[in-house]
Amino acid sequence: MSKTYHIFGLSILSEISLPAPEAGGRRRSSPPDVVIEYGEAPRQLSRPQRKTAWYEAAAGEFLLSAESIARYYVQGGSRIVITAEPGVAKEKILIYLMGSAMGALLHQRNVLVLHAGAVTKKNYSVIFLGPSGAGKSTLAAAFHQRGLAFLADDVCAISFDDGAPAVIPGFPQLKLWEDALAKLGKDKGGLKRVVWIKNLEKYFMPVEHEHDGPVRLKSVFSLEAADTAHIEVHALRGGAKLEPLVANTYRRGFLDGLGGKKEYFRQCARVAAQSEVYRVLRPRDKFLLDELADMLEAEF
């Protein structure tokens, strides 16, 4: 039986249970903004503008093929059809649904999507950009433990409803590697394991949202591991503010097939113009989580 959720500012009717609270009556819309259902996804697109080993993209269409897990067909920013492999665990289906498939759907809706984590302090939000392994999720979890409200992990959507950039609350879940849980003093017992690579395991950690709507974006921190002995925080100016936003757009290659690159660059420029942007260098061989959190919170 399908359930209705309110995620990324959208009313989502989903046949697969999502790791989020069901929407109350006032949050349900008829028809919903997005429908997620099981069905027969195509094996290929008829006229892809971009084609790789794991996805194809064209205007209004996106097809993701996760080997031994599922195919995901994303259409018009309003529909995701999932063809799952027999017997595959729901958590494995969710990892790609909540990530690349949802990211493609948001791109189709011309929403700026960044590869970032986000939290709020007072009435504004801050985001942490960076490639996989930079520590975005760990840092967002650390600030959540310090009492800051959680907004997004990995897939971070930005709106411009009143002209100013604001973070839209995403899935109320963090995806954390086992060593990150250890740094945070969290027990992995009772958490759903969603990824495992050799000796590394990643888990879903539920969190609670305290905001229903977008929260004005104040600061952007671009995280980088570097050959440095100490943490360095540098405020960026001018065109340098745009670079980390462009570099950390969520699955930027999708836009080569989906289109919308001009609007995406305009949106990045608006974020750069209206937000503080910092480059954060941390030692490559050690995370220094508490020290990093202290320094960034001082910049808030």
Q: Shortest CA distance to 69 belongs to which of 51, 52, 87, 45? A: 87
- Tens-digit pLDDT profile for residues 33-60: 999 999 999 999 999 999 999 999 999 9
CA atoms within 13 A on the CB side of 267: 21
pTM: 0.92
Q: Locate tokens 């980088």: which residue?
A: 224
CA 94 to chain centroid: 13
d(CA 6, CA 240) in angstroms, rounded, equals 35
Query: Residue 61, Cα to own-chain centre: how many angstroms?
Result: 20
Q: Alpha-carbon distance 258 to 218, whole Å?
A: 29
Handedness of CA 217, 118, 206, 8 (dihedral sign): positive
**For residues 202 and 223, what is the distance between their CA atoms, to the nearest angstrom?**
20
Beta bridge partners of 225: 282
Strand order in the sheet with 192-197: 173-177, 200-206, 192-197
Partners of residue 255 on adjacent β-strands: none
Smallest CA-to-CA distance from 297 within 147, 162, 154 is with 147
Q: Return the residue matching tokens 């504004």.
A: 124
For residues 218 and 300, what is the distance between their CA atoms, to the nearest angstrom? 8
Report d(CA 34, CA 20) in Å as an integer.
15
pLDDT for res 258: 96
Name the 3-class secondary structure at 146: coil
Compute the distance between CA of residue 199 and CA of residue 180 in angstroms, rounded to an integer: 14
- Each of the 300 residues of the chain gets a pLDDT tens digit; together they read 899 999 999 999 999 999 999 987 555 557 999 999 999 999 999 999 999 999 999 999 999 999 999 999 999 999 999 999 999 989 889 989 999 999 999 999 999 999 999 999 888 999 999 887 788 888 998 998 899 999 999 999 999 988 899 999 999 988 776 777 777 778 777 777 776 555 567 777 878 777 889 999 999 999 998 888 899 999 999 999 999 999 999 999 999 999 999 999 999 999 999 999 999 998 988 888 889 999 998 887
The candidate with the shortest Cα–Cα distance to 175, out of 101, 68, 95, is: 95
